[in-house]
Amino acid sequence: MAIDWQRYMAEGFYDELIEAPGNPRDAAAALCRFLEGLDDRELVEHRTAAELAIRTMGITFTVYSEEDGSIDRAWPFDVVPRVIARSEWEPVERGLKQRVQALNLFIDDLYHRQRILKDGIVPRELIANSRDFRPQCVGINPPHGVWAHVCGSDLVRDKDGTVYVLEDNLRVPSGVSYMLENRQVMKRVFPELFEDYSILPVDDYPAQLYDCLAALSRRRAKRPEVVVLTPGIFNSAYFEHAYLAQQMGAELVEGSDLLVGEDDCVYMRTIEGLSRVDVIYRRIDDQFLDPEVFRADSQLGVPGLMRAWRKGKVALANAPGSGVADDKVIYTYVPEIIRYYLDEDPILPNVPSYLCVNKTERDYVLDNLDKLVVKPANESGGYGMLVGPAASRKEREAFADLIRRHPRNYMAQPMLTLSTAPTLIDNHVEPRHLDLRPFILSGKKTYVTTGGLTRVALRKGSIVVNSSQGGGSKDTWIVDTEGS
């Protein structure tokens, strides 16, 4: 047999599929039996079929290097899915809804009365020194009071089985297209499993996204004009921009395709003339959105766009200024933010964290860099962080200097023992560490994807799951064990 679960060892870790050697978790039992029944040839055939499907479907991601510039690569995908019981997923879903509701209330408060600062729950100086607080957004009232319409929260599980929120992505979260495509690949490669297994669907996401965006329109129209604003083909997430536009039936536009008229409405240039735009799902960072307000040298945005948004002539998702809550230092205050606005205890815990802006905690971090993971406040994609146990002494010393010079910009967390899942390596399975990014839509109602994008560190022993740094992905199955 190509896969022998008796020989699969993930000692010291919480494994998502296998509870003990030869003993699958209940939700994964049928899958494990199926995989164990495949011989070497069948296993290779299924993996080859997945690779062919990815090439045929054109699923790519872009990486950048100083030597070669931008390079499109086939999406790295593992055919062994992650499985979570529906009964286990439901409290996670409730926790994500709670978290995003509180974060939207927090953002709205910051751009209006700032009660949470006046009451001393969040230190005022953290917002004053925030790279992503936008004074230009003060006093603006987006529809439904929602600023972050699309959120991707990264979840990890420790060795005791506890699910933690590792970070919240509220600016321009990406990855949902790969969640959708992973499911399509699995349906092509293992169609029989979807006939015999009660796997909750994810393919309603584009319709849910369109409905969320269309509900932001202030203009009465049978079908509001929704567009996806992309920086262009050289952006690392361009595949996703094009994919989501196509799936929603929306136009994919660049800044040069749009203009703001004398009436402060936004129009799209078409071969038939100008067409009014109601909602822009923007995949461009704040500072490039409008050269009249932010970076004057931006060629990616639309002059006058902020003026149109402020006057309610167009809706923007996510709203400019949302990134003030997408800050790894602010992240440490989210439990208190939930208690402050909702008068509830957090359902999902944060990873214990140390703020380098506080001297006592900074001293602890500097004395224990060899045991901690240190992150900059505003970077993403796994860039700019220090994994202390894996870093050299020279790297730790350089990072210590950065912390001393810019303490506001850094926070640290203990090195979690991330959960693992069986991953196909050559012709056998080995445990690899992973995380999970569910996506939450907020508007008139709140929607959470059933599961999300599971990212897996394909290098043995690595905890860095980002595709740009050698990571891959898996399909994520939320399984209704009671209904099957």
Q: Give the residue-averaged pLDDT of 277-296.
A: 96
pLDDT tens track for 341-389: 999 999 999 999 999 999 999 999 999 999 999 998 876 655 678 988 9
Tell how far CA 275 is from the center of its chain.
32
Q: Give the residue-averaged pLDDT of 458-476.
A: 82
**What Cα–Cα distance (Å) separates residue 226 from each residue in 241, 245, 259, 314?**
13, 9, 15, 10
| Structural tokens at position 308 | 């149109």
> 346-358: b or e for each residue (b if 16 or more CB lie within 10 Å)?
bbbebbebbbbbe
395 domain-assigned? yes
Query: Structure pTM?
Result: 0.93
Residue 483 has pLDDT above 60, yes or no: no
Task: Give me the number of domains the chain comprises.
Answer: 1
Q: Which long-range contacts (CB under 8 A, 24 or more apart) does 232-235 make?
A: 232/300, 234/62, 234/70, 235/62, 235/283
Q: How far apart are CA 276 and CA 274, in angstroms?
A: 7
Residue 273 has pLDDT above 80, yes or no: yes
Helix (H, G, I), strand (E, B) or coil at 53: helix
Judge residue 460's burial from the number of C-beta atoms within 10 Å of its C-beta, 0-12 exposed, 13-18 middle, 19 or more buried. exposed
Q: Domain range for residue 365?
A: 352-414
Q: How far apart are CA 473 and CA 466, in angstroms?
A: 9
Q: What's the confidence (pLDDT) of residue 57?
A: 82
102 domain-assigned? no
| Structural tokens at position 77 | 């995908």
The residue to which tokens 């929607």 are assigned:
447
Q: What's the confidence (pLDDT) of residue 54?
A: 86
Q: Give the residue-averaged pLDDT of 236-249.
A: 94
42 domain-assigned? no
245 domain-assigned? no
469 domain-assigned? no
Average pLDDT, the chain: 92
Residue 368 maps to which CATH number? 3.30.1490.270
358 domain-assigned? yes
Q: How far apart are CA 18 and CA 32, in angstroms?
A: 9
Residue 336 has pLDDT above 70, yes or no: yes
384 domain-assigned? yes
pLDDT tens track for 19-67: 999 999 999 999 999 999 998 888 889 889 988 888 888 877 665 554 5
382 domain-assigned? yes
Question: Is the bond preceding 409 in cis, omega lying within 30 degrees of 0?
Answer: no
Give Dmax over CA atoms of the chain in angstroms.
71
Q: How far apart are CA 226 and CA 214, in angstroms?
A: 7
Q: What's the confidence (pLDDT) of residue 66?
A: 47
Q: Give the residue-averaged pLDDT of 72-93.
A: 91
Residue 1 has pLDDT above 70, yes or no: no
**Regarding predicted confidence, which is higher, 390 or 18?**
18
* Backbone φ, ψ for residue 51 (5° rounding): -65, -40
pLDDT tens track for 382-432: 567 898 898 999 999 999 999 999 998 999 999 888 999 999 988 789 999
